[in-house]
Amino acid sequence: MIKQATLTIVDIVEQGKGNIVSNMGEDKVMLNVQHNKYYNLGEVGGRIWELIASPTVIAEIILTLISEYQVEKEQCEEHVIGFLEHLLKEELIYVREK
């Protein structure tokens, strides 16, 4: 895993391995087996998780969410990067080299 201080829209991210993910209503929940921690990704976080099942450029995630939800680009970008940085800090995702 390549760690960075800050993610950008050109970074490529994908799901980390060793997580058990399940739907709970409209939310997506996850258990990280390695760290024995439970996460509630929520509805939008769950959608982001689905989008990064394979290596995906962050800009593509943002464009997809803008088309699916009523959200401004700047707000979406800020929230997506913040969410992904949290997942990276928790070692739940990988960042690939460009």
What does the pLDDT profile of the chain (98 residues) look like in tens digits? 445 568 999 999 999 998 999 999 999 999 999 889 999 999 999 999 999 999 999 999 999 999 999 999 999 999 999 999 999 999 999 998 76
Per-residue model confidence (pLDDT) at position 1:
46
Per-residue model confidence (pLDDT) at position 5:
60
Provide the terminal-to-terminal Cα distance of the chain, rounded to the nearest Å.
13
How far, in Å, CA of 91 to CA of 72, rounded? 28
88 neighbors 3 (Cβ within 8 angstroms): yes
DSSP letter (8 states) at residue 17: S
Phi, psi of 47 (to 5 degrees): -65, -40
